[in-house]
Structure 1
């Protein structure tokens, strides 16, 4: 399992429109091959910043599979106009988890 992490800096004042677009975009990534889950959270201290966490079977499922798909083109059209600056996306693998081994 690989965890994709991105802080999404949304232009101030565009949060409601971003969340509306996100509601349309989430099913696109949720249906992608290798997607296990997707969560988006809004910052408490920084309400224009959102945290995207996506669990993938592999980095390739994200980088080659989803990003190479028509669904990603729609995702990009829906969400990318809201970002300033563009988010940095990184991938992580588990090393520890409360109550269980990695």
Structure 2
């Protein structure tokens, strides 16, 4: 599994509109083969800062499957105008994990 992690800085006073549009746009990312799940976290210390976490089966499911799809064009149309600055996307793989049962 690959974790996509992205800090999103949303233009001032657009946070609630962004959150609503994000919920609607989620249908596009979740339609892609290799998509496993995602969540959006809102920062408590920094206003208008969010963390997007997306689980993918493989890196290519995101970088090729999603980014080259019609679904990505819809995602982009619905969300990219909220970002300032445009986010840096990074991918991670687990090297250690410990969870309380």
The TM-score bracket by the shorter chain reads: over 0.9
Number of residue pairs aligned between Structure 1 and Structure 2: 100
**Counterpart in 2 of 1:9?**
9
Is the partner of 2:86 in helix, strand or coil? coil
Alpha-carbon offset, residue 99 of structure 1: 4.0
Alpha-carbon offset, residue 47 of structure 1: 2.8
Q: Distance in 2 between matches of 1:81 and 1:97?
A: 35
1:55-74 matched pairs, under 5 angstroms:
55-74=55-74
For structure 2, the 5+ residue unaligned runs are: none
Q: Distance in 1 between matches of 2:66 and 2:47?
A: 28
Q: Distance in 1 between matches of 2:14 and 2:31?
A: 26
Q: Distance in 1 between matches of 2:49 and 2:4?
A: 16
Instruction: Please list the CA deviations of residues 67-101 of structure 1 after superposition, one character each: whole Å capped at 9, or x if unmatched.
Output: 1000000000000000000000000000111149x
Is the partner of 1:87 in helix, strand or coil? coil
| Deviation >6 Å, runs of 4+ | none
Cα RMSD of the aligned pairs, angstroms, is 1.2
Instruction: Please list the CA deviations of residues 11-35 of structure 1 after superposition, one character each: whole Å capped at 9, or x if unmatched.
Output: 1110011011101111111121101
Is the partner of 2:62 in helix, strand or coil? helix
